[in-house]
């Protein structure tokens, strides 16, 4: 044995730095029942009573500290839970952990003690598929009403059966019985689901001790509109692409389309022409600006109560970007512009005018951003309300699987555009923005600076597109009319969407529609951190924290 | 000579104190608008009270600040710069349903949200009006097949104006609201629709198999809404 003990990070790696699945398998020992090949990574099939053992070994010994997604699905003969693990330090290193359970007794061990994020993911798996998790701290439904009958994504679910939905969760905070018990001073306060500060139909049950928040429980599912079912009914080629737009209605539609495009292109082995990649990168970043502008504008509304100035400025700048994207895609909000293998059509003619339009916006941007900084980040009222409120320590953020500006505001240097490159990002010059503040202010700063970085990317893309030779403008690869991937191919891929990492898992069954389509919304994991940020703080800071997460309920509830 | 000068001239400002000039002849001159002049010597008009009230209602509509899904973003743009719904006397968003005349339903309604939306609608004072924004409020839109989706807002509350689109452009929403104002000013009432989804007490439901099963979980006087995907149109 050599004296130089390899550090924990080196376990499970080959000499070239790739994941060494054989070594991981021997590390896990008898818990492994078999191995599976997914297109993105290999996966271990493990015993359902050894989930915590396996995950904590992978987490502590091999450095897989990011439980990215949990997919549950039902086969003819079994239920299956897949934990998609990766590393915050290196997104390209992935491993799947597959937990099969029997049909008659679908119970496996909960992963919640190892990864906090598994809490909501497993509740969703129980809600929609019907797998139960032993040792889960709160095994309730999460998206559907408590009184719902059956599990909609399981095989024997009958959609035609009637249901009864209650209204009782909406307790009136003014009533006497809202005192939780006689000798305590705590009071239950409902925020939402209809409330201007919850950014959509989110219901937050807050327990208050005076003005301090003693406990927060986000109650979601008020816009659970069956996106996964819709995608499982649609054909790969055209029918799925309109839906990703509707997971993030903040304007980041193109980035969401990219998530589906990337996953399906990996699944069907489609190469995207370089020209289309540049257009995708440019339009995707415009989309990101659109989304961040909304986040900043709405945050001004939440924190400074400023409906007249900053909010309107944000909306005004969004109109400019929406005009550009409308010229390109034909729609203001739900673009539906990406296609498998490229984009729907070329840039609008006359191209010169279109480029000029974008350049004018990019040229004006520094001045506008300065205005935002004057109005917001150097505004004393905003600083008092955001600096050092809603603290989210990096280790806690990681345990919840936080990504996007929320993670980067806690100093986690994690951005899939750089760490697992796609599109044209790796050939362009731009930076990943991180802030070490870990507070609401840091998250706001990250968004404002990311707008600058996006502008940089767009500028370089316009340069490239202007000089692109006319005979080489292929906007779409040659894609078969009907896509039917090999049966039982599994893939999990993600992109850096505006709110965080947007991942999609697809399992094919040989037909032209997916057998299982699972969406990992960035906001879903980010929203989960809310109790960590808000508990012990003032109720007003709860609103500031919620706004700084920039959750979009379409992505949370799907 | 601007029209402003003309107005002051008629009052004869030269020989009077500032206060007198402001007061004008008799009543406070600030109310002596050109409109009043047009009415002639007597400042009265004869109209039906209902007609007058309808005109007032249509000219000043308070909207409920109510966001559900994608359409709410376009709704925000309708309120904001460029489209500025306030130009038409309908752009004051109120956060409380108790202060609002119009509710725009901007998005998909799912079974869990339907009872809440019904409650918000019930909290609005009469007379109240509803604009359904987007395909989801017409039929469930792209999500109609979903196991959890209500196929249109009209399943839950009566809708005066439907604005189609996914999402509709702000111009379309403005057109819809202007149409609503026109109807309100003309005194046209909302269509009465058959609403299969009502809020009722659990104890009042027919005791079928499902109700028997849930009897242990739901109290007798809890408010509930039945949801039946297959029976919806």
Give residue-wise pLDDT tens across range A458-486. Answer: 999 999 999 999 888 999 999 988 989 99
Q: Which of A143, A164, A221, A247 to mutate to test the interface with B (most CBs of B within 10 A)?
A: A164
* pLDDT above 70 coverage of chain B, percent: 78
Q: What is the pLDDT of residue B30?
A: 62
pLDDT of residue B227: 84
Q: Is the confidence at residue A7, as pLDDT, over 80?
A: no
Structure tokens belonging to residue A357: 């339009």
CB A467: neighbour CB atoms within 10 A?
Answer: 7
Query: Do B228 and A316 lie within an 8 Å CB cutoff?
Result: no
Residue-level pLDDT at B6: 47
Interhelix angle A274-303/A310-329, nearest 10 degrees: 160
Mean pLDDT: which of A276-285, A383-392, B79-88 is highest? A276-285
Please give the distance of CA A503 from its chain centroid, rounded to a whole number.
Answer: 7
A406 neighbors A514 (Cβ within 8 angstroms)? no
pLDDT of res. A120: 93
Beta-ladder partners of A342: A339, A476
Over residues A535-543, the mean pLDDT reads 89
Residue A316 CA to residue A296 CA, distance in Å, equals: 13
Residues of B in contact with A195 (CB under 8 A): 95
> Beta B92-94 vs B102-106: how paired, if at all?
unpaired
Q: What are phi and psi of B51, to 5 degrees?
A: -65, -45
Give the strand order in the sheet containing A32-37: A32-37, A42-46, A94-102, A78-86, A66-74
Average pLDDT of chain A?
A: 88
Cα angle, residue A283 at apex, residues A279 and A286 outer, rounded to 5°: 150
Query: Which chain A residues are Cβ-neighbours of B172 within 8 angstroms?
Result: none
Residues A476/A339, Cβ–Cβ less than 8 Å: yes
* B142, B214, B231 ranked by CB distance to A164: nearest: B214
CB pairs under 8 A between A and B: 166
Q: Is the pLDDT of residue A182 over 70?
A: no
DSSP states of A171-183: --TTSGGGBSSTT
- Residue A22 confidence (pLDDT) above 70: yes
Q: What is the pLDDT of residue A365?
A: 93
Contact A276, A257 (CB under 8 A): no
The per-residue pLDDT for A304 is 81
Q: Which of A340, A252, A328 is nearest to A521 (CA)?
A: A252
* Count of positions (residues) in chain A: 558
Delimit the CATH 1.10.645.10 region(s) of chain A: 227-557
Asked whether the predicted pLDDT for residue A494 surpasses 90, the reply is yes
Q: Which of A149, A168, A334 sits opposite B167 (nearest CB)?
A: A334
CB contact under 8 A, B73 and A553: no
What 3-state DSSP class applies to A170? coil
Do B113 and A222 lie within an 8 Å CB cutoff?
yes
Q: Which of A142, A143, A144, A194 to mutate to test the interface with B (most CBs of B within 10 A)?
A: A194
Helix (H, G, I), strand (E, B) or coil at A307: coil
Q: Does A319 contact B67 at a Cβ distance shorter than 8 Å? A: no
Q: How many CB atoms lie within 10 A of CB A266?
A: 18
- Least Cα distance to A54 among A83, A22, A11 occurs for A83
Q: Is the pLDDT of residue A119 over 70?
A: yes
Asked if B229's CB is within 8 angstroms of A223's CB, the reply is no
pLDDT at A171: 56
Average pLDDT, whole number, for chain B?
A: 81
Tell me what pLDDT residue B22 has.
58
Q: Name the residue facing A165 among B115, B146, B230 (closest C-beta).
A: B115
The nearest alpha carbon in chain A to B121 belongs to A194
Verify whether the Cβ–Cβ distance B149 to A553 is below 8 Å. no
CA distance A251 to chain B (A): 9
Give me the residue from A145, A201, A312 closest to B111, CB to CB: A145
A166/B149 CB distance under 8 A: no
Question: Which residue among A170, A294, A334 places its CB closest to the CB of B166?
Answer: A334
Return the number of other C-beta atoms located less than 10 Å from residue B15's C-beta. 7
Could you say which architecture CATH assigns to the domain A8-134? 2-Layer Sandwich (3.30)
Interface touch A168/B219, C-beta < 8 Å: yes
Q: What's the CA gap between A125 and A130, in Å, rounded?
A: 6
The pTM (predicted TM-score) of the whole model is 0.88
The strand pair at A514-520 and A501-508 is best described as antiparallel
Is the preceding omega at residue A318 within 30 degrees of 0, hence cis? Answer: no
Give the E-state strand segments of A313-384 in sequence order.
Answer: 338-339, 342-343
Contact B110 A242 (CB under 8 A): no
Phi and psi angles of residue A343, each rounded to the nearest 5 degrees, phi first:
-125, 170
What pLDDT, on a 0 to 100 scale, did the predictor assign at position B168?
93
The 3-state DSSP class for residue A243 equals helix
Closest chain A residue by Cα to residue B109: A223
Distance CA A326, CA B171 (A): 15
The answer, yes or no, to whether the previous bond of A193 is cis (omega within 30 of 0) is yes
How close does chain A come to B190, measured CA to CA in Å? 24
pLDDT given at position A366: 93
Closest CA to B11 of B29, B27, B28: B29
CB contact under 8 A, A163 and B142: no
What residues in A contact B218, CB-CB < 8 Å? 147, 164, 166, 168
* Contact residues on chain B for A311, CB-CB shorter than 8 A: 80
- Min Cα–Cα distance to chain A from B43, Å: 38
Residue ranges matching CATH 3.30.460.80 in chain A: 8-134
Residue A74's SS3 state is strand
* Among the listed residues B162, B112, B166, the one whose alpha carbon sits nearest the alpha carbon of residue A226: B112
Tokens 């400025």 found at = A313
3-state secondary structure of A539: helix
Q: What is the SS3 assignment for A424?
A: coil
Three-class SS state of B62: strand
Work out the minimum CA distance from B96 to partner chain A, whole angstroms. Answer: 9
How many residues are there in chain B? 233
User: Which of A68-82, A185-199, B8-22, B191-205 shows the lowest mean pLDDT across its residues?
Assistant: B8-22
H or E segment and range at residue B18:
helix B18-23
Q: Which residues of A touch B219 (CB under 8 A)?
A: 168
A305 CB burial (10 A radius; 0-12, 13-18, 19+): exposed
> What is the pLDDT averaged over residues A151-172?
81
- Are A222 and B112 in contact (CB < 8 Å)? yes
The whole-number pLDDT of residue A10 equals 67
Mean predicted confidence (pLDDT) in A306-330:
88
**E strands present in A293-430:** 338-339, 342-343
Question: Cβ-count burial of B190 within 10 angstroms (0-12 exposed, 13-18 middle, 19+ buried)?
Answer: middle
| Three-state DSSP class for residue A300 | helix
**Residue carrying structure tokens 């399992």:** A507
Which member of A230, A249, A333 has the closest CB to residue B143?
Answer: A230
For the domain spanning B51-185, the CATH number is: 3.40.50.12280
Distances (CA, A) of A121 to A84, A116, A126, A218: 12, 10, 9, 14
For the stretch A392-439, pLDDT in tens is 999 999 999 999 999 999 999 999 999 999 989 999 999 999 999 899
Q: Which residue has the tokens 């032993």?
A: A134
- The answer to whether residues A379 and A304 touch, using CB atoms and an 8 Å cutoff, is yes
CB contacts of B202 in chain A (<8 Å) are 164, 166
Across the interface, whether the CB atoms of B70 and A152 are under 8 A apart is answered no
pLDDT digits (tens, 9 = 90+) for B97-156: 899 989 999 999 999 899 888 888 888 888 889 999 999 999 888 999 999 999 888 888
Where exactly are the structural domains of chain B?
Answer: 51-185
According to DSSP, residue A231 is labeled: H
CA-derived radius of gyration, chain B: 25
From the DSSP assignment, how many helices (H) and strands (E) are in chain A? 18, 16
Per-residue confidence (pLDDT) for residue A321, from 0 to 100: 94
> What does CATH list as the number for A227-557?
1.10.645.10
Confidence of residue A2 (pLDDT cuts 50, 70, 90): very low
B84 contacts on A by Cβ (under 8 Å):
none
Give the residue, B20 or A206, on which the prediction is more confident: A206
The 10 Å Cβ neighbour count of residue A77 is: 8
What percentage of chain A has pLDDT greater than the value 90? 57
Nearest CB partner across the interface for A165, out of B108, B211, B227: B227
Q: What percent of chain B has pLDDT over 90?
A: 21
CB nearest to B169's CB, from A167, A230, A332: A332
């Amino acid at each position: 044995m050599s004296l130089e003990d390899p550090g924990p990070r080196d376990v499970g790696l080959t000499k070239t730095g790739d994941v060494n699945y054989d070594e991981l398998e021997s590390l896990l020992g008898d818990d492994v029942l078999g191995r599976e090949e997914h297109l993105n990574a290999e996966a271990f099939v493990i015993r359902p009573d050894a989930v915590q053992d396996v995950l904590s070994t992978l987490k502590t010994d091999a450095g897989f500290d990011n439980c990215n997604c949990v997919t549950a699905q039902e086969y003819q003969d079994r239920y299956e839970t897949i934990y998609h693990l990766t590393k915050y330090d290196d997104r390209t290193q992935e491993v799947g952990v597959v937990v099969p359970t029997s049909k008659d007794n679908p119970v496996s061990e909960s992963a919640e003690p190892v990864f906090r994020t598994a809490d909501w993911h497993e509740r969703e798996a129980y809600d929609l598929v019907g797998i139960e998790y032993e040792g889960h701290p709160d095994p309730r439904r999460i998206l559907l009403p408590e009184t719902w009958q059956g599990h909609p994504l399981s095989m024997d679910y009958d959609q035609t059966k009637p249901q009864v939905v209650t209204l009782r969760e909406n307790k009136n905070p003014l009533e006497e019985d809202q005192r939780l018990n006689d000798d305590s001073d705590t009071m239950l306060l409902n925020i939402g689901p209809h409330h201007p500060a919850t950014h959509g139909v989110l219901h937050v049950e807050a327990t208050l001790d005076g003005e301090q928040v003693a406990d927060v429980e986000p109650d979601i599912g008020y816009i659970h509109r069956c996106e996964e079912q819709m995608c499982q009914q649609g054909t790969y080629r055209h029918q799925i692409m309109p839906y990703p737009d509707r997971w993030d209605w903040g304007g980041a539609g193109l980035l969401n389309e990219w998530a589906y495009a990337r996953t399906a292109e990996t699944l069907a082995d489609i190469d995207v022409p370089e020209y289309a990649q540049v257009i995708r990168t440019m339009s995707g970043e415009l989309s990101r600006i659109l989304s961040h502008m909304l986040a900043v504008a709405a945050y001004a509304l939440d924190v400074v109560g400023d409906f007249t100035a900053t909010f309107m400025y944000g909306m005004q700048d969004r109109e400019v970007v929406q005009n550009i994207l409308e010229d390109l895609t034909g729609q203001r909000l739900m673009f539906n512009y990406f296609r498998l293998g490229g984009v729907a059509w070329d840039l609008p003619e006359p191209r010169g005018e279109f480029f000029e339009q974008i350049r004018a916006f990019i040229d004006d941007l520094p001045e506008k951003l300065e205005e935002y900084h004057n109005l917001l980040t150097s505004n004393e009222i905003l600083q008092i309300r955001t600096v050092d409120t809603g603290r989210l320590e990096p280790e806690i953020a990681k345990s919840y699987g936080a990504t996007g500006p929320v993670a980067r505001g806690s100093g986690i240097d994690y951005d899939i555009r750089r760490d697992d490159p796609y599109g044209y990002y790796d050939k362009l010059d731009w930076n990943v923005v991180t802030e070490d503040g870990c507070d609401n202010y840091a998250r706001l700063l990250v968004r404002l600076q990311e707008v600058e970085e996006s502008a940089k990317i767009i500028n370089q893309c316009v340069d490239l597109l202007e000089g692109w030779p006319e005979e080489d403008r292929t906007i779409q690869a040659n894609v078969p009319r009907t896509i039917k991937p090999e049966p039982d191919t599994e893939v999990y891929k993600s992109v850096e969407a505006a709110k965080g990492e947007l991942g999609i898992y697809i399992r094919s069954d040989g037909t032209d529609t997916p057998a299982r389509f699972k969406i990992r919304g960035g906001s879903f994991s980010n929203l989960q951190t809310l109790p960590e940020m808000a508990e012990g703080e003032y109720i007003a800071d709860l609103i500031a924290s919620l706004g700084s997460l920039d959750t979009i309920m379409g992505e949370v509830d799907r | 000579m601007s029209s402003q000068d003309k107005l002051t001239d008629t009052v004869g400002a030269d020989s009077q104190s500032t206060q007198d000039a402001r007061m004008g002849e008799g009543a406070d001159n600030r109310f002596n608008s050109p409109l009043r002049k047009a009415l002639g010597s007597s400042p009265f008009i004869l109209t039906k009270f209902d007609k007058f009230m309808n005109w007032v209602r249509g000219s000043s509509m308070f909207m409920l600040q109510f966001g559900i899904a994608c359409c709410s973003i376009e709704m925000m743009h309708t309120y904001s710069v460029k489209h500025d719904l306030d130009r038409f006397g309908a752009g004051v968003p109120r956060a409380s349903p108790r202060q609002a005349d119009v509710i725009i339903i901007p998005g998909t309604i799912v079974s869990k949200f339907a009872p809440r939306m019904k409650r918000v609608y019930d909290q609005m004072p009469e007379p109240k009006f509803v604009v359904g924004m987007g395909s989801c409020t017409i039929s469930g839109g792209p999500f109609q097949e979903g196991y959890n989706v209500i196929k249109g807002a009209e399943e839950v509350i009566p809708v005066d104006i439907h604005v189609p689109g996914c999402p509709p452009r702000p111009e379309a929403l403005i057109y819809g609201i202007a149409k609503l104002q026109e109807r309100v000013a003309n005194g046209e009432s909302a269509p009465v629709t058959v609403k299969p989804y009502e809020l009722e007490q659990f104890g009042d439901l027919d005791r079928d198999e499902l109700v028997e099963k849930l009897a242990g979980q739901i109290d007798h006087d809890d408010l509930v809404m039945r949801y039946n995907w297959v029976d919806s149109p």
